Structure 1
Amino acid sequence: MEVNPNLELLSIIFRLSRPSWYKDYNPNNNRVSDLDYPYLKDIDDYFAKYKDSNAVKMATELSNKGFDGRSMVLLASYMDTHNKELLQEITSNTNASEAEINKFINAVLEFSKESNFKAFYTNHTSFYQDIVKGFAQQNPDIASILPAAEAFFHTKLKPVRILLEPSMAYYYEAVAMNASEGKEIYIAEGFTGAIHGKPFFSTGRGSGGANAPVTIAWLISYPFFYKAFSPYASNISEYEGLYDSVKEVMKLWGTSNLQGMILQTASAAFVTYYLNLTYGSESASKYMWMYTTGGLYFLPAFIKVMSEYMNTPNEGFNVLVSKLMQTVREVYVKTNGGKDLSKVIPTPTVLDFARQAKKTGVKIFYNPAALNAARMAGSLMNYVGVENYTFHTITNVTSSDLKGNIILIVSSDDLLYKLIEKQLLVTFNGSTVYSKVTGKTYHGPTMFAEILKNPWDPNGLLYIEVTQDWTVTSPVPVRYLMHYIISQGHNILETR
């Protein structure tokens, strides 16, 4: 793993150019300021006088022809390896010719020489080394991914090159190329925040095992699925209704169509396989439901197909992909073109609640001790585009007040909870919580949330949050396609 000079050089040039695609990766647009993270100021101060260079102008021109974040890591990898596959992928995915790309490379090299980028990079060597050291400590189990990936994709893999990107935020790309033996993978990962001037990177471990390098596992799988699903592009467009049913959520993932959603789902299914193999079924199940409720609602169906694939050693990877496409068709039919997700996941969900609340409004009733939770519920409504909502305490509330769509934020000893306890998926008994779904019992301060038909109004929906003591519990980590959730702090114990 490294801070790759070519990728860093290109990211600086595109930071100076600021094309439209870059805004999603600009740390300044992702709550990172120069005060929090002086490295950005170092870049801007050092390279500002080169913003009118030929390389920066060409970066803008290429971006107008479809050059984007993926193209950037392809180009950095090409500059490292001179592997023609990478150049061909850039030209096939953009309107730029090979000659234009080579001309841009010459301009980049000229920019590097003119600005003395080598001196800038050398002056930050200790900073880069600290980044690499910290990432390695956060991801001690990375080596465990390779044998799992080799078995899954039926190919030999060289050690993965991880390119840490300290000048771009939430940037995740991976490319695979043919090597002398099997495949070589380059992974580029941007940072997700900064503390005391140092960037930190996502591991995804909260959704997997204690040391599970989930983000890296996801990225290793992505280029394989990216290439394998490309021939199906025209077929995939027929089932776009599957994307439309959750497009509000998928846009938050940075995914703009069904093809992108399928790629995300396939990579999540591979990670589930890896977690099951390395950390056990409980870790894998937790991850699967985290991402199913996060928006990838046909993930369980993909996982079923992949499990059958791994039990059939002689079945090729391309056969798996064709079966996954068949699964997409089956889900499309089963859900009536994505219009009825209850056929594949438990409903109603948070997204169902938000859509209905947008039309008819919502009333938020809360235990006075849960004022902060009520405010967070209001913020959630704002976030999903609900404008018409009001706040009320549960003091002296009557059944006639509880008509329409309501959010109920109560303690487990409140009367309103007791009145509908039998209809909910959990039972609170003092300091313990029993799940009617899994049969598990949890001890200590626990949060529960569920979306269901409003017991006081069949035309409305109820979103309820319950805990034993609002003074010692953390907010519910809301997932858009969740039907219920049980959590302790930030640890999700169950969700569907």
Structure 2
Amino acid sequence: MKKVIISLISLFFIFNLISCDKKDSQATVTTTDSTAYSIKESSTCNVSIEPKIELLSIVQYLADDPTIIKENLSSDNDKYSKDIASYFSKYIDDPVVTLYKKMLKTGFSYSTPPQAMLYVDDNLKLLTNLTLPSDVISAAGNKKTLIKFFDLLSDFRKKSSFDDFYLSHIDLYKKLVSTVKEKVDKLGCIDKLIDYYGYKQNSYNFIIEPLSIGGYAARIPSKNDKFDLYDFMVIPNDDAEFFQMVIHEFGHSYVNPLTEKNIDEVNKYSNLFTPIKDAMTKEQYGSWDFCVNEHIVRAVAYRNLDTNFSSGVNRRYIDMDTNRKFIYLDALSEKLKEYENNRNKYKTFNDFYPKLLETLKEFSDSSSTKK
């Protein structure tokens, strides 16, 4: 998903860090004792708050990126926002902030900035074993601009003493790790995700973005034709909201490649985009393939709500999204019952994906008949 907007009432825990294990591991960002380090715990998922992502978020905050929340927060979150404003306000015209504002205009927003940070090391240097995706480069304007942004971000980190700010909040981060660990353990999100899609990826990684408006997905090639999956997200207090967001975000790394693989078939039904194009574009899903992905990952998330919470919760989400013009969602959700009831036939979600396209074909054929 490019984005998921969650209600403010769900933001009571947006500083929370997820944990899947009792074992702490602290990876240093640089080589001295006074530098920021990630707070990370691992089990079926690796969950962390990362200094380079927090550094990015602060630049986004100063640049008035609409994906960053500053006001109408819970008391703890409001304090954190005010801490950022107080500590970094004098850097509002810093070159990295100015450049970021320009990059915003070329599409460097929502999922793209945190995704870009996966391609640099903790010292903001490009990783040599990975290739920057073309869509990330395009959103930044060009590769030269993106490299300049990383260099300016590194300079900003030093001149602003970002590490001191980060370390001053370590106790908060650690406390919240244990709080959210209980939620992850209780809900078992990753195991249920793997079971539903039918196969396991190389790794599952939560990176918490405390002031983000929602969640974003990314994946990086790993070994054995598998991927390292990433979920950048806030942490809603409500269990159902948290659960569906996790299934949704990681679900993109399963669904999006299938849409890409079947894009010729998907595009046969692009006439279905016409009646919802304006609404979808406002939601940042400005192309038919994005729209298809969003419908499918939502349908999967809400089917999992049905089996793990209640049909009433599932229905509430479907109705809410249908009102937002996700008009094929209900039918796709119903179609998924066939998958769930025939797992001997459909070992993985990949095997069933063409059946979902048959549902879109039915809508497309019906639409053509009405003309």
User: Hey, what does 1:175 align to over in structure 2?
Assistant: 218
CA distance 1:96–1:114, change in 2 (3 Å): same
* TM-score, length of structure 2 as denominator length: 0.71
Q: Judging changes above 3 Å, is the alpha-carbon distance between structure 1 residues 269 and 95 closer, same or farther for their aligned structure 2 residues?
A: same
Return the index of the structure with the highest Cα Rg: 1
Q: Deviations over 1:196-247 (max 9, x none)?
A: xxxxx3155347xxxx722212211023323332463754542114526xx6
Gaps of at least 5 residues in structure 2 are 1-46
Q: 1:327 and 2:341 equivalent?
A: no
Q: State the Cα deviation string for residues 461-490 of structure 1 (Å, max 9, x = none).
A: xxxxxxxxxxxxxxxxxxxxxxxxxxxxxx
TM-score under structure 1 length normalisation: 0.54
Map 1:23-422 → 2, pairs under 5 A: 23-28=66-71, 31-32=72-73, 37-80=78-121, 82=127, 87-91=132-136, 94=139, 96-142=141-187, 144-168=188-212, 170-180=213-223, 182-190=226-234, 201-202=235-236, 205-206=239-240, 213-230=243-260, 232=263, 234-235=267-268, 237-243=270-276, 259-275=289-305, 279=308, 283=309, 285-294=311-320, 295=322, 296-309=326-339, 311=342, 313=345, 317-318=349-350, 320-334=352-366, 336=367
Deviation at 1:297, TM superposition (A): 4.0
Higher-helix-fraction structure: 2
Q: Aligned partners of 1:174 and 1:121: how far apart in 2? A: 24
Cα distance in 1 between the residues matched to 2:80 and 2:204: 26
Output one character per residue of 1:303-353: Cα deviation in whole Å (capped at 9) or x when no partner: 34434445255666555434323322312444x4799xxxxxxxxxxxxxx
Q: Is the 8 A contact 1:242 1:332 kept in 2?
A: no
**Structure 1 unaligned spans of 5+:** 191-200, 340-496
User: Quick check: which one's strand share is greater?
Assistant: 1
Residues 96, 152 of structure 2: 8 Å contact kept: yes
The answer as to whether partners of 2:49 and 2:209 remain within 8 angstroms in 1 is: yes
- Distance in 2 (alpha carbons) for counterparts of 1:111 and 1:338: 59
**Change beyond 3 A, Cα 1:227–1:60:** farther
Aligned to 2:44: none
- Say which of 60, 69, 90 aligns to 1:14: 60
Distance 2:148 2:63 in 1: 17
One-letter amino acid matched to 2:55? L
Give the aligned CA root-mean-square deviation in angstroms: 3.4
Give the match's secondary structure for 1:156.
coil
Is the CA contact 1:165–1:189 (under 8 Å) kept in the aligned structure 2?
Answer: yes
Q: For the residues of structure 1 that align with 2:76 and 2:207, how far apart are their CA atoms?
A: 25
Residues 1:157 and 1:129: Cα distance change in structure 2 (over 3 Å): same
The one-letter amino acid paired with 1:23 is P
Cα distance in 2, alignment partners of residues 253 and 287 from structure 1: 22
Letter in 1 for 2:220: M
Contact 2:221-2:227 within 8 A present in 1 as well: yes
The one-letter code sitting in structure 1 at the alignment partner of 2:332 is F
- How big is the shift at 1:24? 4.3
Partner of 1:67: helix, strand, or coil? coil
Cα offsets for 1:115-157 (capped at 9, x unmatched): 1211111111012222322222333335x33344334445432
* Aligned residue-pair number: 311
Structure 1 residues 316 and 32 mapped into 2: Cα distance closer, same or farther (>3 Å)? Answer: closer
Aligned to 1:368: none
Task: Call closer, same or farther: CA 1:289–1:35 in 2, change over 3 Å.
Answer: closer
- The CA distance in 2 between the partners of 1:319 and 1:309, in whole Å, is 9
Report which structure shows greater RCO (CA 8 Å, sep ≥6).
2
Contact preservation (8 Å) 1:275, 1:284: yes
1:106 to 1:92, Cα distance in 2 relative to 1, 3 A: closer
- For 2:369 and 2:276, the matched residues in 1 are separated by 8
CA-CA distance at 1:299 after TM superposition = 2.8
CA contact (8 A) 1:55 1:108 kept: yes
- Are the structure 2 counterparts of residues 66 and 44 from structure 1 closer, same or farther at C-alpha, using a change threshold of 3 Å? same
Q: Is 1:239–1:337's contact at 8 Å kept on the other side of the alignment?
A: no
Letter in 1 for 2:296: A
Hey, what's the Cα distance between the residues in 2 that align with 1:215 and 1:159?
A: 18
The verdict on how the C-alpha distance between 1:96 and 1:235 changes in structure 2, with shifts beyond 3 A counting, is: farther
1:272–1:284: 8 Å Cα contact kept in structure 2? Answer: no
Distance in 1, matches of 2:199 and 2:259, equals 17
